[in-house]
Amino acid sequence: MLYFARIMSTILLKNISSLVGMEESGKLKKSGNEMAELAIMENAWLFIKDGLIAEYGSMKDEQTVGSYSDVNTIDCTGKFVLPCFVDSHTHLVFANTREEEFVMRIKGMTYEEIAEAGGGILNSARRLQDMSEDALYENALKRLHEVIGFGTGALEIKSGYGLTVADELKMLRVIKRLKVVSPVIIKATFLGAHAFPLAYKNDHKAYIDLIINEMLPKVVEENLADYIDVFCDTGFFNPAETTQILQAAAKYGLKPKIHGNELGYTGGVQTAVENNALSVDHLEYTGDEEISCLLKSSTMPVALPGCSFFLGIPYAPFRKMIDAGLPVCLASDYNPGSTPNGRMGFVVSLACTQMKLTPEEAINATTINGAYAIELSDKMGSITKGKYGNVIITKEMPSLAYMPYSFGVDMVWKTIIMGKVFEKPQ
C-alpha cells in the first residue's frame, strides 16, 4: 500500500469548527429545493466506532464529550468535517495519458474530430490492449490513493478502454482486484459499448453482437460488473443500439448508467429513462423535453463539469434542472481524454462558478446524491448515525463557501475511511 493507514477502532473528532451534512430523516437523495438544505452544527464533535458514525453533538455538552475516555482523538480546531465525496462516474483504470490530443484541441481540432480520426477512446484502447493486467492495476491503484487523499470515500469505475473480449475482461478484473484491496467501496460498470473499434466502423451490428453474445455472458459469469453503460451519443451508439444492449444486460440484472447528451440532443436521456437507468451522465445538451422526461423518472441526472471545463463544451443546465424540481448529482469523470482529474473539490468549485449551484447544493450533489447514483446512499453520503464513518476533515477555513471559493486549492486535510485515517501520498 502506498498509504500508511492508521487503523483505529474508535475515533473522536473534537473541536470541529463546523460539522456539515447531518441527516437523520432517512432520505436517500435530495431533489429541487431540498438540494439547498445542508445541516451545519458549529463547535461540534463526532464519534466514529468500528468504522461507523456512532454519535455527534455540540462541544457545549461537556459531560458527553468528556465521557469518551481512552479513545483516539483528533483535534479539529478551525476545521470543517463533511461526509466524504462519492464519485459515481470515473474511468480510473487506463493505460496512458493523452496530452497530445489536448494540444491538438488547442490548435483547433474538436473532440469529435479526434475520435473520428481514430484517436480518443480508440487511442486509449490501443494502449490498454498493450499493457499487462498487473501494470494497469499498479497505476490505477496509485490514482485510487490519490483520489482518496482528495476526499473521495466511494466511487464507480468503468471499463470501456478494452473493446475486445479479452481486454474488456482484463479491465474489469483490474477493477475487481481494486475492490478487494480498496479501503473505499468501488462499484464496477461494464462499458464495452464505449466506442466502435475501427474494424467495426461499418458493421455496428457485428460489434453489438460481440458485446451481447461474447462479452456480457463472460462478465456476468465472473461477476465482474455491478452496472452496464453505453455511450449513447453522436458518432457513437444510437438510441436503438443502446436499447438493444441494455435489454440484453437487463436479462442478467445489470442496471444501466448511461453516457448521454454530451455531444448533442441525441435521445440519450429518453433512452436512459425508458430503460430505467439508475443515472444518465454528462447532459451538456439538456432541454425542456429532457427535463420533463427526467421529472417523470427515478433516474439521477449526473453532470461532469470537469469534462465541460477541459473540453470547452457547455455545462449541463443544473440551475434550471434544480429549479424544475430535479435531484442532481456531480461526478469527476476522471479519464485520460476528456477529464484528466479526479479531484471532487474542483468539481464542487466548477459547479458553483460555472453552473451557479450554491456550495450547499454542490455538496449535496457530490455526497448524498452521488451515493444514490451508485446505490450507496443508505450507507454513505451524509453524517447519519449508523452510516460509514467516511468523512473529510478540511484544512482550517473560515466558512463552508471558502472550500469552492479557493478553487485551485485542495482543502482536504485528512480523509477518514471506515475508521482508518488516510494521509496523502507524498
- Pick between residue 196 and residue 231 the one whose CB is nearest to ligand NIG: 231
Binding partner selected for residue 307 from ligand NIG, Fe ion, none, CB under the kind-specific 5 to 8 Å limit? ligand NIG
Contact 310, 340 (CB under 8 A): yes
Min dist. Cβ of residue 349 to ligand NIG (A): 19
| Shortest Å, Cβ 267 to Fe ion | 18
Distance (Å, rounded) from C-alpha 294 to C-alpha 276?
11
Phi, psi of 248, rounded to the nearest 5 degrees: -65, -40
Beta carbon of residue 259, minimum distance to ligand NIG (angstroms, whole number): 5
Q: Which does 231 bind (CB under 5 to 8 A by kind): ligand NIG, Fe ion, none?
A: ligand NIG
243 binds, among ligand NIG, Fe ion, none (CB under 5 to 8 A by kind): none
If the CB atoms of residues 34 and 116 are measured against ligand NIG, the closer one turns out to be: 116
Task: Let me know how many helices (H) and strands (E) the chain has, helices first.
Answer: 17, 17
In the complex, the smallest distance separating the C-beta of residue 233 from ligand NIG, rounded to whole angstroms, is 7
Q: Which C-beta is closer to Fe ion: that of 189 or that of 390?
A: 189
DSSP track, 55-94: EEEETT-HHHHHT--SSEEEE-TTEEEEEPEEE-------
- Which of 76/311 has CB closer to ligand NIG? 311
Residue 343: all three cell numbers together:
479531484
Among residues 76 and 195, whose Cβ is nearest to ligand NIG? 195
> Other CB atoms closer than 10 Å to residue 422's CB: what's the count?
21
124 or 266: CB nearest ligand NIG: 124
Residues pairing with 232 in the sheet: 237, 260
* Helix ranges, 312-343 (H): 318-323
Residue entry with cell 474511468: 91
Say how far apart CA 372 and CA 381 lie, in whole Å.
Answer: 8
Give the three cell numbers for residue 294: 427526467
What is the smallest separation between the CB atom of 98 and ligand NIG, expressed in angstroms? 7
Least Cβ distance, residue 386 to Fe ion (angstroms): 32
| Residue 120 Cβ vs ligand NIG, minimum distance, rounded to whole Å | 5
Q: Could you tell me which stretch among 39-47, 200-208, 240-248, 332-340 binds Fe ion (CB under 5 A)?
A: 332-340
Q: Which three cell numbers stand for residue 30?
A: 435530495
Query: From Fe ion, ligand NIG, none, which one binds at residue 261 (CB under 5 to 8 Å depending on kind)?
Result: none
Instruction: Give whole-number Cα distances, 51 to 45, 74, 88, 390, in Å.
Output: 16, 15, 22, 8
Q: Which is nearer to ligand NIG, 241 or 262 (CB)?
A: 262
Q: CB-wise, 105 or 255, nearer to ligand NIG?
A: 105
Kindly tell me the burial class for residue 24, based on how many C-beta atoms sit within 10 Å of its own C-beta (0-12, 13-18, 19 or more). Answer: exposed
Helical axes 165-181 vs 121-129, angle rounded to 10°: 80
Q: How far is the CB of 158 from ligand NIG (least distance, A)?
A: 8
Q: Does 333 bind Fe ion (CB under 5 A)?
A: yes
The entry of ligand NIG, Fe ion, none near residue 404 (CB within 5 to 8 angstroms by kind) is none
- Calpha distance 320→283 (Å, rounded): 12
Residue in the shown chain whose Cβ atom is closest to Fe ion: 333
Site residues, ligand NIG (CB under 6 A): 91, 120-121, 124, 231, 259, 262, 307, 333, 335-338
In this structure, the chain runs to a length of 426
Q: Which residue's beta carbon is nearest to the bound ligand NIG?
A: 337
Binding site for Fe ion (CB under 5 A): 333
